[in-house]
Structure 1
């Protein structure tokens, strides 16, 4: 009886697999869904898609199935866009059709469909425009955003000075500095780096960013208004999580790369000394005069590819894309790493090399492949703020300190410890020696 029962289970599994395969074959092909590996019932493409390194897995699949293909995460089909041309075509050339945010479990749990990052409600565009306008308006107030960043860098320098050249982990120090810029904008005040509530907020945001890399990262009276308290609170939190953790992680990863490549750090310091000197702090206007430093900042963002998959998109109606049809509601991943690591645009893309953003005469080289903040209608609304912060923090730190590793630079591991939907650098310590 037991043998018969086992045989029946095996038979049922085989039948389910055959039916699933037949259904998959019927849905994919020209005029239908893009091609892809055959999924297992319920489990989908669990054998082909490795959650710990999704970007590399999807790159290998693109070599077999082309720049537009389908994978099944569980029972749900996901259309993957791999390469600059298809990502640009979807997010920029056909921005309206691909502007909707795709489903992401962590977004549902944290935001309940509200805010800016994960929302698709009717008020999304209103709240996004409000956030952008508010950020722009701060540039014309009594104190500009740049002044707020420069003020916070002074507090950061004080904290670094307190280490007196001894080894320290820069994680929370950088998170506090970046978050205080948002606090200054939203609340009109900053917080001490030892404030318990402030540190608790930093810890929660760090946990949420790491959770996004786990399997989970898979006006009240006016009913038409998007500006009611819960939505505004969620939108403010979006500014914090997007404007703190991503930027501070980028700077933290950047400092690790400068520890690994001390000659690049020296060249940045030479340019800072020549253009800015030591008598004043670096400012945004200096960037055009500092092509090497600007190239290093761009190369940090390109190399680490902080959000390799980008955030998911979807289509709100059946959409013909190239020779395929993407059904309404299908999740779409525009793979940003496939653009940022394009070998034709960036020779040896897996190497950290500022020359990727420099012309032969040493001037800065722009590239339309530079998409760390995504592109189109869902491009990060805080892009301008983040770029300003990354440049000013790195330039100011290197103006005042020489960063030294606690181990031989050749032994430094720059491989991300988490590499799902976001690349997180390994934990490390450094010594900051006053210049």
Structure 2
């Protein structure tokens, strides 16, 4: 006990010193005309005001008092939050270059070390992003070739669901098809759903995405120097390492067999580009960035579409009247035997509206932080270079000035009085920006996948709750992970005649 006391006193003094410096810094910042916000407490800042799992909801509550641009302190980190369509649009479209950088979020820095497509910055980000978008186009994204691959995958998904013969199956099984599309782009081939590599990757991705929503993971991001006290980030790094072993195996195989005239995968393209630039001293395609870019596509490319498809089927079970209207439109436009194409959405306004409303209602990705690349004034407030900025997408998708019934699932948000589909400017589920900036590189792919998979499934099946479960009992609250996921539930799919 005596030996412990000096260590305790030393730690206490350190915390008190940090707290004093923190308060001094906060008072100094208040004189710079930074956005207003709640006064930060020593050490914890404004964390006492947040629901750690649903920070987006807490931040929306704070904005009611301080306006659409305000400052919060997440531990020792000063963060500017933008809420509502007007503020987010102005930042991400009108002044996007200023808000284009990424802050060094501890867990992602430990995983990627500033490499890859998603959490890199500046020239490395621009080069890697430009290469990735060009490669995805070369591999068929945005073209009929990839649409045919999605239709082929739809057949496998339909067969999987048929195998349950109308009995309950886990909503998570819907992940298989969208994930396989991403894997086909990444590896150059689709996997059988029982393939050990496919099953392993699916499990690891699922576990990592759930751990990213852990409260202790958020605490690690706020206080990385206390990492020895927390467990989730260590578990994430271990699971990511298992994923990287599989990716490295495919990268090594690609290096042995690469043929510049026949690049069939994103990994092949990365390896070929690396070999092209191996003599350049300033190449962006070094081993760590090649691996990180492949990892980004694997993780981010599978989660968003897969989870949105789960939500879509869950909401059809919850609202059978809406499902019946989708059925009726599909029968009128496609009939029972004609497979959907992306072009069909123009003649299917209600189905298109339902898909858009699913994305709006579930607010899948509440926010991904940015940081300022230079000192700037925004909405009359000063924001220093390097400040973390949260464009709160939840607040846009639930903005009361943009949506008639923001808290309700209502496909009429995307329909006019005559039943025609209406595109809404505040529909920003993937963030926004022009092609040079931080808009989602997989948005076009996700849009095609969602329409074809959703329409194809509703064409073949009527989805119902499991026996003994009423529509009103289905849980549509979100489970926080990297994205807002539906809680684990089952569905029944009755084959339609």
| TM-score tier after normalising by the smaller chain length | over 0.9
Task: Tell whether the 8 Å contact from 1:114 to 1:121 is kept in structure 2 after alignment.
Answer: no
Partner of 1:74: 75
Q: For residues 363 and 119 of structure 1, do their structure 2 counterparts lie closer, same or farther at Cα, with a shift above 3 Å needed?
A: same
State how far apart, in whole Å, the 2-side matches of 1:106 and 1:210 are: 14
Q: 1:320-351 CA distances to partner (integer Å, 9 max, x unpaired)?
A: 21221111211110000111111121112110
Instruction: State which of 377, 393, 403 in structure 2 corresponds to 1:320.
Output: 377
Moved more, 121-130 or 278-287: 121-130
Tell me the alpha carbon deviations over residues 118-159 of structure 1, each in whole angstroms, 9 at most, x when there is no partner.
111522111111111122233389971111111101111110
Tell me the TM-score normalised to structure 2 length. 0.81
1:155 aligns with: 156
Deviations 1:42-80 (A, max 9, x none): 211121122122111101110111111111111110110
Identify the residue that residue 109 of structure 2 maps to in structure 1. 108
Is the helix fraction higher in 1 or 2? 2
Matched, 1:430 2:491: yes
Superposed CA RMSD: 2.4
Question: Structure 1 421/185 Cα, relative in aligned 2: closer, same or farther at 3 Å?
Answer: closer
Match of 2:265 in 1: none
1:279 counterpart = 2:281: no
Look up the match of 1:97: 98
Partner SS, residue 51 of structure 1: coil
5 Å-filtered alignment, 1:202-241, equals: 202-215=202-215, 216-217=217-218, 218=221, 219=274, 220-241=278-299
- Alignment CA distance shift 1:421-1:58 (3 Å): farther
8 A contact 1:21–1:38 mirrored in 2: no
Aligned to 2:324: 266
- List gaps (5 residues or longer) in structure 2: 1-10, 222-273
1:55-204 equivalence runs, <5 A: 55-139=56-140, 144-171=145-172, 173-204=173-204
Contact 2:15–2:43 (8 Å) recurs in 1: no
Shift of 1:18: 7.4
CA apart distance, 1:388? 0.7
CA displacement at 1:170 relative to structure 2 = 2.6
Unmatched segments (≥5 aa) in structure 1: 1-8
1:294 aligns with 2:352: yes
CA separation in 1, counterparts of 2:482 and 2:390?
A: 10
How many residue pairs are counted as aligned between the two chains? 425
Give the Cα separation in 2 of the matches to 1:156 and 1:230. 35
Q: What is the rounded CA distance, in whole Å, between the counterparts of 2:138 and 2:21 in structure 1? A: 58
SS at match of 2:168: coil
Q: What does the per-residue CA deviation read over 1:94-121, in whole Å, with 9 as the maximum and x for residues that have no partner? A: 0111111123222112212111111115
**Cα 1:10/1:139, change in 2 over 3 Å:** closer
Q: Which residue of 1 is the match for residue 477 of structure 2?
A: 415
